[in-house]
Structure 1
Amino acid sequence: MEFFLDTVNLEEITHYQKVLPLAGVTSNPTILKAAGNIDFFTHLQAVKERIGEASLHVQVVGETVDEMILDAETIINKLGKEVYIKIPINENGLEAIKRLKEREFNLTATAIYTELQGFLAIGAGVDYLAPYYNRMENINVDAPTVIESLAQAIRTTQAQSKILAASFKNTAQMNRAIRAGAHALTADPDIYRQGLAMPSIQKAVTDFHNDWVETFKSPSIQGLCQ
């Protein structure tokens, strides 16, 4: 199971790199817009250096096949061949994926809303495919069923693709995506924060600490050695 951060905020990445078993960072033009006035390549190079061996996923912005391929080539030339290129699954995107896969690019299929899109992405040999969980629910698409179907297709065909579920508004959606068969999740840091900041969790931590202090008259286990 892999966990990604859907952000380019360096402070958040630095913090959650210490907290999560971080597999990588995903980005798109909307996330980059939220980051404010940044130098695209300089900032993403800083992200890449910050995360080390974890993977960085960067999205093309062109709409034609040639534009997508040129975007992909430029990203790789500037940031390195290890970067995963995110390409939306439409006709142009699939053609670009086919041509780039022949050149052994790392590819993440994105903007997936339907089973057919996912099946085609798997057939095209993408490394990751990103179904948009919350966006599917917003248009009354059964997101867990889509993910289940894609996971079954991967098992049946013994494909190497992984489902990198994206677009979450809460941890309940993340849980359902994993139960449906997603191999990986990407989410905004606030979603992870939400899941780990339940009052009940902190109450348990505090209760255990207080019981320890009351029993052993020391604030820590190490304190017993002094």
Structure 2
Amino acid sequence: MEFIIDTVNIEEIKDAIDHMPIVGVTSNPSIVKKTHPADFYDHMRQIRSIIGKERSLHIQVISKTADEMVKEAHRIHEEIDPDVFIKVPVSYEGLKAIQMLKKEGVKVTATAVYDEMQALMALAAGADYIAPYVNRIGNLGNDPYELIANVSDRIDHDGYDCKIVAASFKGVRQIREALDAGAQAITAPVEILKQVFKNPSIDKAVDDFNADWYSMYGEGVGLCDLK
């Protein structure tokens, strides 16, 4: 199970990896627009420096033809490093690009997945991650969790070296249901992951524990203060 954050905001990334078991950072043009870095590649290099090589970094191409997507992938690797996962939308040309990149040994995240057959095509093409859009699939009247479960079964049945990284969430419940359905990873905005801890019951439990402790040893006397 992997928790990945969908942001390029430097302060959000620092905060998230400091507090949560985050194993990677994903981005796309819409995510980049929210931060709007003046120097895109320098910004991404900063992110790599912050998260280190032990975490994955996923950067999306923007061209619509396979040849141009591959050129952009090469530029991303030249500017940052060859360990970056190249995010490729699973369009007709994108599927061609995925196969071209995998022949070069490039790590690929197949994104913008709305349909099970899209996912299966990307799986057969050799994608390392497949990113179904949970909330958007649901908004179209389809079941994203059925898609995740079926593709996860196919990965296990045929022995593919691939992970489903569920994306596009509006709340914590969708994340939990995606993982329960068989997604090996999720990528979500930091603010959604932090919602897990915005629970008054958690705060009350901590306050009650502290009150019981201080009633015995004195207000403000912590474990490190005991003699």
**Shorter-chain TM-score tier:** over 0.9
Q: Is the 8 A contact 2:37 2:43 kept in 1?
A: no
- In 2, distance between residues paired with 1:117 and 1:19? 35
Structure 1 equivalent of residue 104 of structure 2? 103
Q: Which amino acid aligns with 2:167?
A: A
TM-score, with structure 1 as normaliser: 0.97
Which residue of structure 2 lines up, in the alignment, with residue 117 of structure 1? 118
8 Å CA contact 2:23–2:56 kept in 1: the answer is yes
- In the other structure, the counterpart of 1:3 is 3
* 1:19 alignment partner in structure 2: 19
Gaps of 5+ in 2: none
Deviation string, structure 1 residues 9-52 (Cα, Å, up to 9, x no partner):
00010011111111100000001001024311010000011001
Please, what is the CA RMSD of the aligned residues? 0.9
Give distance in 2, aligned partners of 1:202 and 1:39. 41
Shift of 1:157: 0.6
Q: When the two structures are aligned, how many residues end up with a matched partner?
A: 225
* 2:162 alignment counterpart: 161
User: Separation in 2 of the partners of 1:105 and 1:81?
Assistant: 8
**Which residue is equivalent to 2:38?**
38
In structure 2, the CA distance between the partners of 1:108 and 1:11, relative to structure 1 (3 Å rule), is same
Encode CA deviations 1:121-149: one digit per residue, 9 max, x unaligned: 11111111100001111111101100000
Structure 1, unpaired ranges of 5+: none
1:9-88 superposed matches below 5 A:
9-52=9-52, 53-88=54-89
Q: Partner amino acid for 1:157? A: D
Counterparts of 2:221 and 2:87, CA distance in 1: 49
- Cα deviation for residue 75 of structure 1 reads 0.6
Question: Secondary structure at 2:226's aligned position in 1?
Answer: helix
The alignment-based identity, stated in percent, is 42
Q: Name the TM-score, length of structure 2 as normaliser.
A: 0.97
